[in-house]
Amino acid sequence: MILHVRCVGTLVVLRTPTTTVGFLQVAYLMILQEVDNFWNDIENEHIRKKINTEENKLLIDEFKIARAISKGVLKATKTIMENVDVKLRSNWKLSSSDTSKHMDKIECAAAKKIETTSPSITTYASPTITSGVDETLEEREKIEINLVSIKKQLEMVPSIEWTVGDINVTQKFRQYQQSVVDKAMKYELKWNNSYEILALASIMILSWPCPYPKFFTNREWHQITQTNTYVIHYPVIPSTISAVLREVAMKRLMGIESYMQLDGSELSKVVARTFNNLCDILVRFSAKTSEEIHCDRLLYPYINSLFFRRLAEYEVRLNSAVSGIKKRLDFSCVVDDVPILDSEIKPLGVTPLGRKKDFIKAHLRGKKSVNQQLNLKGGPGEAGLLMNMGDEVESFFMDYRFGIYCSWPFQRTRLAIDRASIPLIESNICHFERINKIAEDFKNRNRPSTPPLQMSFMTEFPDSPQLRQLLNYNLS
């Protein structure tokens, strides 16, 4: 038997002269196909492994690139922050004189530019607003206080203590003062710690919510604050005048030009004059003004009508100096050259830090007034505090009780600053008139003089360069 074999690719073709070789042909073809599939599988597996290897290499390379980019970003960010920190420190080290000269140059340049571009427009100097960076640095400023005299004071045993029911207020507040001393020794006090700073001056704020929650429960605090004597239980403005005032205010709110008419009584004249003057001012008032213009337009209409009265027992001073103070106060009521009513005023746009510092400043001034009264006449040892921060008006009355300077919240209102807020004029008139009623009675108060034993526990101000600079006068 002759076998003819011819290979075509992977296919082997068998040719025989007889038909009996047909079965062998099929068998050979199947074997060859299996062999071909075997080698194909081996080749494909090798290719797949090679592809996976390449992909893994690519992923590793991408990870290395991402890590390199991340390191570069972190390094760049660190360099930028270091440069910013150096810049801030250099700005912080600038002297106040250099800063003021620089600001004067900027303001002069801005004023010249405005004058050349629009000479027909009258411009006012805008109030100086501390930048965000400067305010942050000032918030972090450490308040340095000499604690030696305060510790000695707390070691003294009070012979007379202030008690309300079964609550020993003197002991609880002294415990709070001791905790503040411990805190100041271990950590730092900053301007945000307003209640702690005032506590070191023996000033206690009797407001809600309780500033000393770890030492007084809500029930105890409620019982203590109910002893507030600076409360007027009758309406300041009679209902007849109040009804007319509200009616005219609503007409103004709707854009109808209307004025309040006088009915002949002195209070009606005061209310009508105040309301009519304010309505004319608010129509053309601009919010961006200096402190002087803020006082002249928004506050003095109340003060001029309510405090400048012929039979007043005090002297009103506007933007005038008083005894022991270098800075000129915006508004004060003075008896025998001692202020019985102090004020602290800031225009619209006052910062939160400015509010906290003025809150401390007003209460320290109130304590100085109380000490002056006690040292000169033995009483009555009371002082009013008026704070206007932007459009908010808040008043306190401070008195001296058993070695504690108690600050009692009196009233809080919002100033009318535009046409939409004209209805607020009524509440502001009531607020200022209530302050005036109490201030009028200061000289003839029936309250007995402070006993010498209590006066022996009078305290001076904490020895602190920051507080001395804040008040701008001798703290003693």
pLDDT of residue 259 exceeding 70, the answer is yes
pLDDT of residue 110 exceeding 80, the answer is no
Query: pLDDT per residue over 286-315, tens digit each?
Result: 666 788 888 888 888 899 888 887 777 788
Query: pLDDT per residue over 150-195, tens digit each?
Result: 998 888 888 788 999 999 999 999 999 999 999 999 888 999 999 9
pLDDT of residue 16 exceeding 90, the answer is no
Across 36-40, average pLDDT: 69
Across 38-53, average pLDDT: 66
Closest CA to 361 of 260, 433, 468: 468
Q: Record the tokens describing residue 428, joined without a space.
A: 């502001």
The answer as to whether 300 is a domain residue is: yes
The answer as to whether 189 is a domain residue is: no
pLDDT of residue 118 exceeding 60, the answer is no
Q: Which of residues 56, 71, 86 is at a domain's end?
A: 71
Name the CA radius of gyration of the chain, rounded: 41
Tell me the whole-structure pTM to 2 decimals.
0.68
Give the number of domains in the chain: 2
**To 10 degrees, the CA torsion angle through 204, 208, 209, 210?**
30
What's the pLDDT at 471? 84
What is the spatial distance between Cα 324 and Cα 364, in angstroms, rounded to a whole number? Answer: 13
What's the pLDDT at 149? 87
Strand partners, 335: 338
What's the pLDDT at 14? 43
Cβ 212 vs Cβ 196: under 8 Å: no
pLDDT of residue 451 exceeding 70, the answer is no
What counts of helices (H) and strands (E) characterise the chain? 15, 11
Is the pLDDT higher at 74 or at 342?
342
The answer as to whether 22 is a domain residue is: yes
Structure confidence at residue 203 as a pLDDT band (50, 70, 90): very high
Q: For the ranges 262-276, 283-297, 436-450, which has the lowest average pLDDT?
A: 436-450
The answer as to whether 263 is a domain residue is: yes
Which residue type does 353 have? L
Q: Which of residues 43, 71, 99 is at a domain's end?
A: 71
Q: At what angle do helices 132-139 and 22-92 cross, to 10 degrees?
A: 80
Closest CA to 398 of 230, 231, 209: 230
What's the pLDDT at 70? 61
Strand partners, 163: 168
Across 6-20, average pLDDT: 45
pLDDT of residue 106 exceeding 50, the answer is no
pLDDT of residue 213 exceeding 80, the answer is yes
The answer as to whether 29 is a domain residue is: yes
Per the listing, tokens 């009555």 go with 380
The answer as to whether 210 is a domain residue is: no
Across 28-42, average pLDDT: 71
430 alpha carbon, distance to own chain's centre:
27
Q: Where are the alpha helices (DSSP H) in 93-217?
A: 96-117, 132-139, 148-155, 169-186, 194-200
| Most trustworthy range by pLDDT among 82-91, 437-446, 448-457 | 437-446
Range of the domain at 24: 4-71
Cβ 341 vs Cβ 312: under 8 Å: no
The answer as to whether 247 is a domain residue is: yes
Is the pLDDT higher at 398 or at 450?
398
Cβ 287 vs Cβ 348: under 8 Å: yes
Q: For the ranges 64-78, 106-120, 237-251, 323-337, which has the lowest average pLDDT?
A: 106-120
What is the spatial distance between Cα 332 and Cα 26, in angstroms, rounded to a whole number? Answer: 122
The answer as to whether 226 is a domain residue is: no
E-strand stretches of 16-112: none
pLDDT of residue 222 exceeding 90, the answer is yes
What's the pLDDT at 57? 63
Cβ 69 vs Cβ 61: under 8 Å: no
Mean pLDDT of the chain: 76
Q: Which of residues 71, 98, 127 is at a domain's end?
A: 71
Q: Record the tokens describing residue 358, joined without a space.
A: 């003025």
Listing DSSP states for 261-301 in one string gives: PP-SSHHHHHHHHHHHHHHHHHHT--SS--HHHHIIIIIHH
What's the pLDDT at 135? 64
What is the spatial distance between Cα 285 and Cα 420, in angstroms, rounded to a whole number? Answer: 12
Per the listing, tokens 């073709």 go with 13
Structure confidence at residue 359 as a pLDDT band (50, 70, 90): very high
Closest CA to 422 of 414, 411, 433, 434: 414
What's the pLDDT at 318? 81
The full length of the chain comes to 476
